[in-house]
Amino acid sequence: MRPALAVGAVGGLLFLAAPSFLSSYYLGLLTKMLIFALFAMSLDLLLGYTGLPSLGHAAYFGLGAYTVALLQLRVMKNFWLNALAGLASAVVLALGFGPLTLRARGDYFLMITLALAQVIWGIAFGWRSMTGGDDGLPGIARPTLAGSWSLAGETPFYYFVLVVCGLAMGLLSIIVRSPFGKALVGIRESETRMRVLGYNVWAYQYGASILAGFFAGLAGILFVYYNGYVGPAYLSIIFSAQVLLMVILGGAGTLFGPVLGAGIIVLLENLISAMTERWLLILGTIYVVVTLFAPQGLHGLIPRALRGHLG
């Protein structure tokens, strides 16, 4: 336990000191990694801990982002109220999607989440007068907090994202280690057994989907301020598949795995997309390779490597 605490402390210090040794570009990249790490962890609550694979998780991410953008551009510029509205919209969507998606399991669950998310994408793409259609909504300025603390610069915004993501990840850690989180793992392993033990399996899965929607919406809110723009791509299957790959690549059912996967995918996307336009082809190749050779993700390779070294 002590080595883990030491590694965590060193990592925390590096994150705090990052603006002092990273350029503006790489600090922005690190900020994006943190946001997508939170997004991936929200999906892992469904996939890794509850056993529900989703291809529509971008719906919560995108709706939270759209809500904040629309309110800021057309109604008011109050960050806190806009952010609360964005979180509320993601939660309401999760409340509505849950009864529809939780009727199915496995591949059927995967396809229903995809279909419902595509409905939201279609609304964003087609309702040009409200959402800007495929042009999206540009010009979303970063807010000023407490009257004077502007988040316009890369460093202030990085620290803001670091604090928000740190608190959210801490809360997720508490959730998965709580009796609720243990029950989710039990449901993932055997729904029948948990029903026999008296657990309301549907209610636990519904709660997990609502929490996953909440944290995905939070990531979407941070991302819209990071980019200053929101478009239908935020709701697309590509976004959902990308975050799913982050979880699978890092290792589902762990908190560190999605963070690792998000960091690798964001870094590779920025490096490879600068050299070729066929990033999606490479993304698919990564998925196939990981599925074949590291089904437990990169996080699962670490204990295996240690056993091989010590054995």
For the stretch 282-304, pLDDT in tens is: 777 877 777 777 667 777 665 55
How far is Cα 230 from Cα 224, in angstroms, rounded to an integer? 6
Task: Write down the pTM of the prediction.
Answer: 0.90
Please write the tens of the pLDDT for every residue from 96-130.
Answer: 999 999 988 878 888 999 999 999 999 999 989 89
Mean pLDDT of the residues in the chain: 87
Residue 148 confidence (pLDDT) above 80:
no
Classify residue 267 as exposed, middle or buried by CB count within 10 Å of its CB (0-12, 13-18, 19+). Answer: middle
- Please count the residues of the chain: 311
Lowest mean pLDDT among 69-83, 147-161, 165-179, 181-195: 147-161
